Structure formats: structure tokens, C-alpha cells
Chain A
Amino acid sequence: MIIDKAVITAAGPAQRTLPLQHLIDRDGQERTVLAILIEEAAKAGMKEVAVVVYPGDEAACAAAAEGTPVKLHFIPQTGGAGYARAVWSAREFTGKEPFLHLVGDHLYVGDEAGACASRLVETATREKCAVSAVQATHEGLLPNYGAVGGQPLAAHTDLYAIERVVEKPTPTLAERSLVVAGLRTGHYLCFFGMHALTPAVMAILDEMLGENSGAAPSFSSALETLAARERYLALQMDARRYDLGASYGLFTAQAALALNGRDRDEVLTRLVQLLSANPARKAGL
């Protein structure tokens, strides 16, 4: 299985401007979020990247992605809203091939740039199946993520065979269906926002979103169907993901990039200055 295509979704009405935001990357260069994501994909071996955009955002996104080393496609999301439909919009681009999928409102910060996507793609290629990156997440954050339940894979410490996928589960449901051996109490494997998927996903979305399909499904329900049809793994990531749409999300992502990059000492110094100038008046928060 060779994966050299990526799909980045950036069409959500509430998140469409996030990929256009400028940040200072690990190398001290000012770049857009979209450019950082495309570079993550490129470093994982992607040759073509499709960005699913809100209709009319093509030009702005093209400008934000300028200078990236891959062939770019901008696909407007039409025919309805929803995350599942956004991915499905790229079905012609992916065709019958596996693909890497990143969400446009997250940034990934690991030991080095591109390490997360590379590790995911390597795993999917080696295991010859779909793999989603996941991270052990406290139950208090469950309302923000899709979560998976499954069994640890023999002879692996970071791979799980996925049995269930639930979008934003309640802790009640998570405790009944998504408990995974080896995790801390009250922690669940939640999506990292990065998936290496087989073409079967697009076939499932075809069934779900094609004509006469009824109500709009979630992308997680498509992935749950995938788990029922073929081998589907979860790869636990050590790196961190940052949700840019969350409160102080951009700020946190920027701080994480800076503290993992070239200017770490300088940024740390500035943070210390900030802390000393504002005694811990609200340290409790």
C-alpha cells in the first residue's frame, strides 16, 4: 500500500479562517497554518494534497499555501455541510487509492516537523490497513473529540485494533463501550485529527451520503462502519495536537511550536518576563 495523496479539510463555516492564520513555525519563519499542515503531509511523502474549502475560499487558501512543495488541489465543499461530507468531497481526488487525511483546524507538534504524519503513514503502509492517530485523552475533554474503543495489538505498545468509533461520546457511554486496557482511569483514545485511510472509507461515505441516504451521518459513524468491514487500527501518538478553534487554541499552538523550535530560549525568557510582571494573581485559574 502506497500513500501519496492527502486530504485536508478546511471548509467548516466556523473554522474556515483558521488555516489562514499566520504563526511562527519551529524554524522561526512566519507561515500560515495551512502551509504548516501541507509541509507535514509533504514530509510524510505526499505528492498531492487536496484542500477542501468553503466555496469561494479557494483563492485565499491558495495564497496561504503558496510555496509548499506539493501539487495542490482546492475542492469546494458543495451539497451540504458536515465533516463527513467535506471528506467525501475529495472522493474524485482520492479515487481508489489510500490517502492521508488531516483536519485543517489542528496543529501537530512532535519531536520534529512532519514526524506525526510520517509515523502514521509508515504504520499504515506496514500494516496494510487504515490507521487513525489517537491520543489518550481525559474524559473531561470527550465532548470535543471522536473516540475509539478496541484491543491492544499483540506485540505492539502503541497499536490497537479498533472495534468501536463514537463521535463525542458521553463519559457514560465511554465507560461502557470505549474502555481500553492499559490506559489511566478516566482516559480514552480520542482522535488526533490525522488518519491514513483506505478507499473503503469513500465507498462507505458514498453509501451514507449518496442519494436517498437520509440524515447526515458523522465521519465517526463512517469510521465505525469501516472498523466493521476491514482491519482498522489506532496508533497512539506521543506528540501533541492543538485544536486551534478552542479558546486560546491559536495562542497555545503558537507557544507549543515556539517552545519546540529554534527560538525556545527566547520565548521562554519572554514568558518568564510576563510571569514576573504579572504576579500570580490568577495563578489558581
Chain B
Amino acid sequence: MERLIGIITSSEEAVRNTPLDAAIEGMSAVELLAACARLDGFRRETGNLYQRVRALFFLSSIHRYALPACGTIPSFGRIPFHAYEQLLERRFEESISILLDAVRTDGPSEAVSSALAAAYRGLAFQTLADQVRRSVRSIAGNQWMFRCGHAADYPLRLRPELMAQQGGRFPILRETTPVRMDLSHSAWSDIFFLGMDYPEGARVLNISIDLAISGRGEPRPPVEAHLRVIDRPVLRLVSVDLNAQVELSAVSEVFDFARDYLGLLKAAVIASGIVPPGMEGAATPLAAVLERLTGRAGHGIEIVSKVNDIPKGSRLAVSTNLLACLISACMRATSQVASLTGSMDEADRRLVAARAILGEWLGGSGGGWQDSGGVWPGMKLIRGVRAEAGDPEHGVSRGCLLPRHDLLGEDRAPEAAGRLLQDSLVLVHGGMAQDVGPILEMVTEKYLLRSAKEWEARGEAVGILDEVLDRLAKADVRGLGRLTQRNFDSPIQTIIPWAGNHYTQLLIDRAKAEFGERFWGFWMLGGMAGGGMGFLFDPQVKAAAQKRMQEILSETKRALEGGVPFAMEPVVYDFRINPRGSWSEMSGAGDGLMPPAYYVLTAPALLRRESRNLTPAQRADLEQFGARSRGGGEWGVAGSSLIDHLLPEAAAARSVSGTLDEMLEAHGFDRLQHEQIRADMKSGRIGLAQNRLPATARITNVDPGELPEVTGVHGRFVDLGRDALRRGSVAAVSLAGGAGSRWTRGAGVVKALNPFCKMGGRHRSFVEIHLAKSRRASRAYPLAIPHVFTTSYMTQGPFEGTLARENRYGYEGPLRLSPGRSVGLRFVPMARDLRFAWEETQQQVLDVQKQKVLESLRSGLIQWALASGEGTDYRDNLPQQCLHPTGHWFELPNMLRNGVLARLLAERPSLRTLMLHNIDTLGADVDAGLLGFHMDSGAAMTVEVIPRLLDDRGGGLARVDGRIRLVEGMALPDEELEFDLSFYNTGTMWIDIDRMLGVFGLTRAGLGGMAAVDAAVRKVAARMPSYVTIKDVKKRWGRGQEDIFPVAQFEKLWGDMTALPELDCRYVSVPRLRGQQLKDVAQLDGWVRDGSAGYVESLCEWR
């Protein structure tokens, strides 16, 4: 039998756990391809889910890493466009078939392998997600909800206690739920897929806690839900903390998750069965369902959620526990949970947890299986369960979907341990709110591949959990601290280096430095560090440490915020272990009230109505609130806030738009050009569809044979280059004016300064790495290479601050910033451009439920654009977020306009060549061979290109109407054309300064005349096309909440210079390790695994 299949199917654990890398070591490309063919056949035939998935991950990994590493298959290959389309549509099987046909017809290639890797990986995750979905649906107690599609079949009734009316008002059911923190999650073993395949290794020590922001009162359950009957036939949903409310009267509105901020409440309503998932798409009026539910025509229910001061990204599973809290209240109200008030029995808790999983799936989010741990009280060990006969998972996966919760009694978690933990732990929110999703995918993939060191680390993490349990039983919190620190330092960061970050490391270092032996250890909460975190201290210094940690957090955040995406100011919590779990109480019909903030939110609309138009319940509710607010306390404060809401507010002393206008003024905003672009955009002369070259343009591929390939040592070119380096005739220019919005999804921080990975023993940013390469490249020569970073209004300040703080990273040569000289003001996009971007261009389709949420969100954003005014200025955000850089075309001309090039030339007259590159092309360095090649060619500009792989989207090298040039992806008249192009632009270019100046009509000597320079730049700029693009911009609000808006902006791109006939351009094919761009954090793991990170580090020399 094929060895790889043998590993997958073996009953012996040692064989089954063989790392893929070890199994294929030494295999040739031919052998690997033969193994792939057998694996592909196996995965199609096997009925076992995990064998299938593991085979898929093996296939993906071989195509992504092992085959290219062989070096014997061609780099070039045509990826069939239809395969790509199928991939985007998530039709993975079809895509794989097309790609395998291409391999049979054209032979293997790195390009097609890259597409196969993506398709196999997509299919693997899809298969796993489908299985979780099937398991959730097949849990007894959940199935009926998928069958109920009509009000006539609707089987739920509210408990009679909730229908006991008094004075027009109904009783209020109030559920409060703690959140959970995990002392150890055994290396993310709470991911559903892991627990279902490896239940023995899936164990989490999970603690339910109450919280309060330090200094703001006693800790209390952080999430609460309120439910009552109302005398109107609607479903009324209110989120007090998100300031959102809605009344729903159609079933379809309940399933429209992203229309407002109430998606979580809607998911709870559906997952609890109040509007069961089987009703999606039903034409039944919601009033008919509510009539059946309440037993009374004209009545409905109101559900209110409240999160008590806990910001998003706390890593305490706030949203899952809020979902569970809401579901608990709804299920109690409909008798699905036996007890109306008090706690729940184990069976009901499990049912609520299962429904919370369903709710997360419906809402398009996803947590781990331990996340609803707040429903249970105190400390518990949550562990995977082997699937036995009778379980829906039996015969499909080794483990069950739902884990078992063992509450730890006095023998395993003595009271003293809990008390000591409370007295030692400083619990914080570091302020970062990152997406943990990519990390969970990386963990799953590494687990299924059994990558050697990661698998060993998993074993260590499992062992640490046993030690943690042992320390807990002995109430040894100091020992616990050592273990959680070891857990973070060793297994967690061995498996996923990105779980840690520079910010967290600085915090740990400072805690150690300031508290020495009295700092007992760091404790990572949830999936990654930076948000919710714990620091354990000697109880004797805890009070001082709590105070000091707040200061350390704030100081460190201020130092790093230019390059690290923070969503909020860091906070320190007070916390207490919750002994009750989710708990419910019911008020009497006459005297119950919603939380005070509810009335501040809802009363203004009611007060604006005539009293006679209020329902009896609304009137009685307001009367009750009025009486209570006159009594002072928190109700009195709510009363005052309500008055503030009702009365007109004096204009803010300094409006945001005032600041924005000042910034525009300061950064050289060209209002005339802006108005012209607006007019062109509104009239349809420019837009996403108009970015494209005319359909009549003849665009063909440049064959690989037409370009020189520069690899290894290049003889005379190297000598030529070294000679030029010795003379000091080259400078490096890193383009860093842009925000790198894909890196932080529009957070507005400077990607270049983001300390994203560990090299040479510590976290390094893009800037530091580029300087380290220039340092190494300069090493052998008397003159260090001058290095220029081009900046913009957005990046100049943070660059200056960081370089000053880091003492220019000790760079020995000339180091200059080239500040931007142009800025644009973003527009509210045209609806037609949004539709073009989302509906007419190829888009990655998401998993079914996520796609529904996304489509609902997009429809809302198009409405937002229409309501805000298409083509109007985008001003509803922080000023920084309303401005935009105008594209990297301007960055080199800016060096002419701001005098940086003139000064460089004055300091080093021997300077002849600039190596220009993007900040994210980490493999680019001042390579003597390439420099020599460029100089030898005599070209004005030499562009480095790489053979295209699947992810290399956005244009490439083409012959356009006979001229070889770079073409932007958005300029291609037909997306399919891109798949015919063999080469992708790396963004790295060698530029002959004098020849380039010649294109602008300038000379070295003429750089001092600013008017002439400005005129020259304007003249060339006018010949460059302006592209309209849609960018995502984050708008932050509330406590760590973020919305993402698509905004329109324009840009000019440097690659279009290659279209100028007077610019003599050459092109050279370079290895992928040199040309690979790092645009997305999700690429990081692959970047390490494929050797790119090691290659980059080999180019660096640290100070």
C-alpha cells in the first residue's frame, strides 16, 4: 500500500502520527506526483471523514511545499481560468478535476500546483465545516427546528408565568451569565475539528468569572439578557451596549443578520427555536408565529442584551457567552429548559451549549467548544468524548461534537486555590482586537499534517495541563504561573509563533523587570495574545501590580500604536470566580424594569409620541421608569442621561471636520483635482469598470523564454555590481507611503512599522528587516548604502517617532525619510462601483452561512452609500481615516519635489542607481548580480518579475499592442487575461537616476528649481492613468467595536511608467524567494514553511 495512505489508515498510533515531512523526505517530484495520484484516489473512496480530510491536507501540503522544493518541475504553467472560477465558487471538486486535467495535458508546474494546493486545502476545511454543521443539526433536541417551516406547525409556547399581566405590563425574565477564561487550552484543543478527531488530547481547564473594569464597582456577570412579552405583534430586539434596537415583523428580517448590530440576538432567537431555522425563507408573517408562541393575538416579545463594560476582543468568549445567555433565557421562557429561574441542570446546560454552537454557525462566526463554559459554574475540566454507538458522530469521527464538562470539586480545585488565584491574577485587555480565525486554521492544518515539532509541542501542552491540574489541587498558584508562562513560551509559540507578538513580549519583559521574583508568570487567554491576557503576581504585590500594569499597558501601547493595530485603550479588570453559572430571575409583572440604560436608549422615541398613542404596557413602563429615576442612584443617572439625549447639545468645541480640513491643507490637498475626480466619478467617466484598458487593446503573454533569468552567482554581473557598490553608486528606496490596508484590514496603522515576526531572537518590523538587509549588503564595502523610506501624511509621523525611539535601528548609512507631497480625500463610493466590485468581478464565495451574512452586509453598505450620498466626501471617521495616499506613482517624484534626492546626490555624487521596492517585498535586497545586470543593460529601469502562482493576482507582465509593459490587474479588460500572463510584478525596480530624470525632462543640476520640478512632475503625472479603487476603512466606536466601510479613492501606480515609450525598460525573472510579497497576515505561516522567512533572515545582519 502507498506509504502515505498507510500512515493515514494505520491503527498504530505511532505510525498514524508520522509527520508528512518525514514520510516524503527524499522523494523525487515523479515519486511525489505518483503518491499524489494514489492519495487523490484514496480520498475519493474512503468513507471515513478524517482519513479523507487528512489525505486532502497531505495533498495540499505536497503541492504547496514539497513539489516546488524539489526544483525539478517547471515554475511556469497556465492555471485554467475556469478552475480558478470554480475555486472562488467553492466548487472545489470541480476545480481539482480541471487542474488535474491540466497536469495530464500540459505536465506539472509550480503554478498549477499552487492552485491545486489551494483547492485541496479549501476542500479539506469545507469537509470539516460540513461535518460540524451536520453534527450540530443531528443533535437530539435540535433536529425539529430544521423541520418546522410554518406557523401552523409551530410547537413552542411561552410559559404561563410570563403571560401574567399586571397594569398592562408583563414580567421580565433576566438571565445573567459569567464569561470564561481558560487556564490552559492544551494548544487550541477546543477547536471542534481537533476534539472530534483527537478527543483524548482535547482538554481545557475553564473557569467562569465575573468582571468589572478596575475601579468601577464590584465584579458581576458580564453578560445579561432580558425577555418579556409586549403588547404589540412584533419581535423587538435591543442591544443596550451597542445602542441598537429594531422591531421585526417579517420572518425574513430575523434571518437578515448583518442588516444591523443585532445579528447576535437574531442568531439567539433562531437557535433557541423561537423562530426556528426551518422557517428561513417562509412567507409566514412573524405575527402568526408570535401569536402561537404567546397564545394571544396582537402580542409579541422583547429581548434585550447587555454587556457590562467588557470590550470586544477580550479573549473571554464574551460573544459566545452572550449568545448562550440569550439562548438560555429564550429556552427557559419556552419550557425547553426545565427551570424558569435559578440555575440549570447538566442536560439543559449541554443543550444550551449545543444551541450556542448552532447560533454561532448561523451568525457566520465560530468559537471553540469550550467557549460557552460560562453557562457552567466555577472551575471545570472540559474534555473531548469518544463517539460511541448511538452517537450521531459514531462511525464518522472518533470524537463527539460536544465535550463533557466535569466540575472540579474541593479535592481537585480547593477553595484556597480559587481564592489565591483571585488574589494573584491581574487580568487585562491589552487593547488589540485581532482576528483569531487564521490562527485556528493554521493549528488545524499543522495538527492534521502531524508536523514534527508542532506535534511534539502539542504533547507538551497536554502534559502541561496535567501539571496545571496538579498545581491547582495543591493551591500552588506560583507553580501555576510558571506553567502558564512555559505554556506560552514553548508549546503555544512553537505551534503558532503568531500567537505571541512584540507588544505582549514587551509587557512580559517589563513585568519581569519591575516585579522580579514577584511576577509569577504570563497567561495567554484564548486563541492569541494582545487582547485579554493574565499576569500572575505574588498576592502581596497584586494591588500595586494592578495599578502599575495599567500604566505599563498604556505606555507600551502609546509607543507601538503607529505600527500595531489597537482597537481601544488597554484596561485592567477586577474579577471573581462565578460559583453559579448562568442564572435566571423573574421580576413581578407590576414592578420589573429593564436595565437603566435600556430606557436611555428607548425612551426618547416613546416620549416624542402622543401619550394616547402609546400602548398600555409602554405607558406603564415609562411611569415605572419615571418613578424609579426620581429616586436617585443608577436610575437617577439614567434619568439625567435621558434628559441629555432629549435636549439639544451645544456644538462641540472643535468639530472633527475642522481638524480634517486642517490636515488637508497641511498635506497639499489639490481641491481642483478632487472636484474633477468627483465629477468624473459621478458622471461615470471614471469608475471601477472604467479602469480597464479598451477592449480593443491587444494583450498577450510574454513567454518565459523571452526574459533572462538571474539566479545564483552571475559572473561578470556580480563583479560589475560589486564595483558599483564599492563606488557607492546605489541607494535603496522602500515605498512606505501606503497603509498596507490588507495587513490590518484598514486599521490605519503603518504596516511598515508592524513588528510582525521574530528574527534574530526578537520581533522585527518590515523597516528593521529592510535596514538589516542594506546593512549586510553594505558590509563588504567602504560606503554604506543610503536607504530611503518614502512616507505619506499617514506614515511620516509614526516613522519619525519609531526611528527616533529605536535609534534608527542602528543603521550605519544615510537613512532618510521622503515625506509625501500629495493627499486625497476619500469619497463615499458610487453604488455602481460597489456592485461592480462585489457582483461583476470574481469574488471568493464563503461558506454558506457566512456568505449569507456577507451578502446581507453588502446590501446594507450599498444602502449606506446611497443614503450618505454617492460621490460625496467621506468625512464620518477620524481625519486620518478620511484621507488617502494617492498611489505609489507619486512616491518617487516626491523625492524630487521634497529635495530628498537632491540632498542624497549632493552627499554622494557617485550615486547612479536606485533600487526601488515595495515595503512588503521582504526578499528584495541590493543584490550585486542584479545591480550589475541592470547596469550592463544600460536600461533606464529594470523590473524584477516572478513566475506567477495562483495567489499572484493584480496584473503582470504583458505585451500590450506590441510593447512589453506591466499591466495592473484592474486595467485588464478581461479577468481571464491575467491567467494567460506568465509573470507577476514583484514591484522591485532598478532605476538609472539620470535616465529617469531625463524622462521627467530634468537633470541633476536642475533638481534645485522647485517650480520646474513641480511642473515636470505634473506633466508626467498627467500621462499616467488614475485608477478608482475601493478600500476598506475601519471605523471604531463603542468599546472596541469596529465597522468596516468601503470607500472610493483614486491612485496612480508606478508600474504604468513602463508604458512610456521614452522609458527604456528591461525585465528580469527572479526567484520567488526574492520576489514574494507579504500582504496578508494569513500568509505568514506559509511564508515560514516555504523557506521565505529563512531566506530573508539569511539576507539580514542585525545591529
Contact = CB atoms under 8 A, between A and B. Distances in A.
Contact of B273 (A138, A141, A172, A174): A172
Given A170-B335, A172-B273, A172-B336, A138 B153 contact: yes
A40 B393 CA distance: 49
A246 to B, nearest CB: 13
Q: Please indicate which of the listed interface residues A140, A141, A172, A185 has the most CB atoms of chain B within 10 Å of its own CB.
A: A172
B183 to A, nearest CB: 32
A170 B331 CA distance: 10
B155 A140 contact: yes
Of the four ranges (under 10, 10 to 19, 20 to 34, 35 or more), the interface on chain B belongs to 20 to 34
Question: Which 9 interchain pairs have the tightest Cβ spacing?
Answer: A140-B153, A171-B144, A172-B336, A172-B141, A171-B155, A143-B157, A176-B141, A170-B336, A176-B140
B147 A186 contact: yes
B140 A140 contact: no
B144 A186 contact: yes
Contacts of A141: 155
A245 to B, nearest CB: 14
Interface in A159-182: 168, 170-176, 179
Given A170-B334, A171-B155, A185 B147 contact: yes
A217 B144 CA distance: 28
A175 B155 contact: no
A97 interface: no
B154 interface: yes
Interface string B141-155: 111110110001111
A142 interface: yes
A139 interface: yes
Q: Please indicate which of the listed interface residues A142, A176, A179 has the most CB atoms of chain B within 10 Å of its own CB.
A: A176
A255 to B, nearest CB: 19
B156 interface: yes
Interface in B316-339: 331, 334-336
B899 to A, nearest CB: 74
B157 A172 contact: no
Given A140-B154, A173-B141, A186-B144, 12 more contacts: A139-B147, A140-B152, A143-B156, A170-B336, A171-B148, A171-B156, A171-B273, A172-B142, A172-B336, A173-B335, A175-B140, A176-B351
Interface string A104-146: 0000000000000000000000000000000000111111000
A139 B140 contact: no
Nearest to A169: B335
B702 to A, nearest CB: 62
Q: Please indicate which of the listed interface residues B142, B145, B155, B273 has the most CB atoms of chain A within 10 Å of its own CB.
A: B155
A222 to B, nearest CB: 18
A138 B147 CA distance: 11
A175 B144 contact: yes
Given A170-B334, A170-B335, A173-B336, A143 B155 contact: yes
B997 to A, nearest CB: 77
A179 B140 contact: yes
A116 B331 CA distance: 38
Q: Please indicate which of the listed interface residues A143, A174, A179 has the most CB atoms of chain B within 10 Å of its own CB.
A: A143
Interface of A: 138-143, 168, 170-176, 179, 185-186
A139 B144 contact: yes
B155 A139 contact: yes
B140 A170 contact: no
A172 B144 contact: yes
Nearest to B331: A172
A138 B150 CA distance: 13
A141 B152 CA distance: 9
B610 to A, nearest CB: 36
A120 to B, nearest CB: 27
A179 B143 CA distance: 12
Interface string B138-178: 00111111011000111111000000000000000000000
Interface in B327-357: 331, 334-336, 347, 351
B291 to A, nearest CB: 12
Contacts of A170: 155-156, 334-336
Nearest to A185: B147
A164 B396 CA distance: 31
Interface string B259-275: 00000000000000100
Given A170-B155, A170-B156, A172-B351, A140 B143 contact: no
Contact of A140 (B141, B142, B148, B273): B148
Nearest to B148: A140
Contacts of B157: 143, 168
Nearest to A143: B157
A140 B153 CA distance: 4
B145 to A, nearest CB: 8
A260 to B, nearest CB: 25
Contacts of B351: 172, 176
A179 B139 CA distance: 13
Contacts of A171: 144-145, 148, 155-156, 273
Contacts of B147: 139, 185-186
Q: Please indicate which of the listed interface residues A171, A173, A175 has the most CB atoms of chain B within 10 Å of its own CB.
A: A171
Interface string B364-389: 00000000000000000000000000
27 contacts: A138-B153, A139-B144, A139-B153, A139-B155, A140-B152, A140-B154, A140-B155, A141-B155, A142-B155, A143-B156, A143-B157, A170-B156, A170-B334, A171-B145, A171-B156, A172-B141, A172-B142, A172-B144, A172-B273, A173-B141, A175-B140, A175-B142, A175-B143, A175-B144, A176-B140, A176-B351, A185-B147
A274 to B, nearest CB: 22
A142 B156 CA distance: 9
Contacts of A179: 140
Contacts of B153: 138-140
Contacts of B152: 140
A139 to B, nearest CB: 5
Contacts of A175: 140-144
B604 to A, nearest CB: 38
Contacts of B148: 139-140, 171
B640 to A, nearest CB: 44
A139 B278 CA distance: 14
A238 B148 CA distance: 25
Nearest to A186: B147
A49 B143 CA distance: 44
Contacts of B154: 140
A172 to B, nearest CB: 4
A223 B141 CA distance: 24
A144 to B, nearest CB: 10
A176 B346 CA distance: 14
Nearest to B355: A172
Contacts of B336: 170, 172-173
A52 to B, nearest CB: 23
Interface in B950-1005: none
A176 B154 CA distance: 18
B535 to A, nearest CB: 43
Contacts of A172: 141-142, 144, 273, 331, 336, 351
A78 B153 CA distance: 37
A143 B335 CA distance: 11
A171 B140 CA distance: 10
Contacts of A168: 157
A240 to B, nearest CB: 18
A90 B613 CA distance: 53
A175 B142 CA distance: 8
A142 B273 CA distance: 15
Contacts of B145: 171
B349 to A, nearest CB: 13
A174 B351 CA distance: 13
B344 to A, nearest CB: 13
Contacts of B141: 172-173, 175-176
Contacts of B331: 172
Contacts of A186: 144, 147
A172 B347 CA distance: 12
